[in-house]
Amino acid sequence: MIKFKFLNVKNIFLKNVLMIAGGTAFAQIINFLLSPIITRLYTPEDYGALSVYVSILGLLGIISCLRYESAIIIADDDETAVNLVGLCFFILFSITIVLFFTISFSGDFLLTKLKFIEIIKYKYFIPIGVFLIGLHNIYLQWAYRRKNIKIISKAKFIQAFFNNSIKILFGISGKFKALGLISGHIAGESTGTTAFFLPFFRNDRHLIKEINWLKIKFCCRRYKDFPLYNAVSQLFNQAGLLLPALFMLSLYDSKTVGYYSLANAALSLPMSLVGNSIGDVFYIEAANSKNNPGQLKNLSIKLFKKLLLIGFIPLLVILFGGPFVFSIVFGKQWIEAGYFARILIIVIFARLIFMPIGGIFYVYEKQKEAFILDFLRVIFIVIIYFLSKRLLLKASLFILMYSITLSFVYLLTFFVSQRIMYNKIKEKQIIESMKSTNSENDL
């Protein structure tokens, strides 16, 4: 049965990639067509405030369920999986309440101390955003478990539509500034969550009766490595992506952060069309076929070669024409973002070709290895920050060092994931050899 499955994995994998990529493509088309409108309604300073808000949300969102949601897809049965859902909801409500009271009593002080003054007026959007991210992650993992590729694809489109629509509506009024960008971000998260929740409610709500405290406690112990290593690892992972904006705000100004934010978002959107779509499907395939590491390793190498070819042309276009492209598409006030894009394309290209197979770390429960790599990434960024502060380096040099060091870490992550699959292949060969020897002895 397993052999037959792998004979068809290429066609199934390609079909699933195309389905997710299709939804992502429509979402990216919406983003691409509407971005020139949005960038003319908001200023670089507004984008700087959005970047800080998204950075804070990205870091806090990691611990919204302590990463227990990542275990939903690999749970042995539906009873265990739905109790993981129950555990995640309990953690999410608890953390949201604690965060709300923290923001209420100490929010102004903390945000001022961290020099995030631009978002003090939007502080209550932080717990709201964290709660919605938690909900989104829970139901997304359930969709992965059910292989609801169509739903995942549809959700991407819905998120992009509402995200951009709210931004434009607020921007046209001219009164709300950064609030319009933040509201659009929140709207995207909430509508995406609805898209995942409805299939769960229709098809799997009968499983809710299986939730009880004893099973939740079992799940808490059984998958303890997810909060111990995966949560911290993902926190460092997101820090590697989000800290640059926060550090740049400390070193420079919100206008510079706005240029960086747009450049990073504009480059990441088209690259994620392929990279994230393949990564999502590879994660699903790996979770359901983890007993066949040889096939997964071969698939990962083929994906790497394809992504290398796909990303090469965008790499050349931005390297040689970034400022021109940005000034034409987004307006002359964003030409500086085009110069930043020339530098950022290096790390975004590396992320595209090396990271889609990163789900291997979680499928084979190698959270410790992922933690070390993500921790290394943050250490590099902190070193870059202090060097830039000490030497008074320009923003472009800060971004260049960031791009080079993170590209190296992505390369290292790829090699480690390959090593994990290689070790699993060897383990399987040893087990099969021992079984064969025992069978011969029995005869």
Check whether residue 287 and residue 407 sit in a common domain.
yes
AA letter at 332: K
pLDDT at 443 over 70: no
pLDDT at 434 over 50: yes
Indicate the range of 49-63, 72-86, 423-437 predicted with least confidence. 423-437
Mean pLDDT of the chain: 83
Read off the pLDDT band of 83 (50, 70, 90).
very high
Among 32, 44, 41, which residue's Cα sits nearest to residue 333? 44
Domain, as residue range, for 162: 42-223
Check whether residue 205 and residue 252 sit in a common domain.
no
Indicate the range of 10-19, 189-198, 321-330, 423-432 predicted with least confidence. 10-19
Any domain includes 442: no
Check whether residue 411 and residue 294 sit in a common domain.
yes
Check whether residue 288 and residue 417 sit in a common domain.
yes
Check whether residue 29 and residue 50 sit in a common domain.
no
C-alpha distances (whole Å) from 150 to each of 139, 161, 208 are: 14, 17, 24
Final residue belonging to a domain, choices 164, 198, 223: 223
Estimate the crossing angle of helix 231-251 against helix 254-288, to 10 degrees. Answer: 160
Query: Structural domain tally of the chain?
Result: 2
Question: 5-29, pLDDT tens digit by residue?
Answer: 433 444 555 555 555 555 666 776 7
Among 411, 395, 366, which residue's Cα sits nearest to residue 249? 395
pLDDT value at residue 93? 95
Q: Does the predicted TM-score (pTM) go above 0.75?
A: no
**DSSP label at residue 65:** S
Q: Which residues contact 65 (CB under 8 A, 6 or more apart)?
A: 88, 91, 92, 134, 137, 138
Q: Which residues contact 66 (CB under 8 A, 6 or more apart)?
A: 91, 226, 227, 231
Check whether residue 53 and residue 201 sit in a common domain.
yes
pLDDT at 3 over 50: no
Read off the pLDDT band of 343 (50, 70, 90).
very high
Check whether residue 286 and residue 392 sit in a common domain.
yes
Q: Which two tokens stand for residue 185?
A: 């971000």
Work out the angle at residue 380's Cα, subtended by the Cα atoms of residues 374 and 385, and round it to the nearest 5 degrees.
130
Question: 371-399, pLDDT tens digit by residue?
Answer: 888 888 889 999 999 999 999 999 999 99
138-176 in b/e burial notation, b at 16+ Cβ within 10 A? bbbbbbbbbbbbebbbbbbbbbbbbbbebbeebbeeeeb
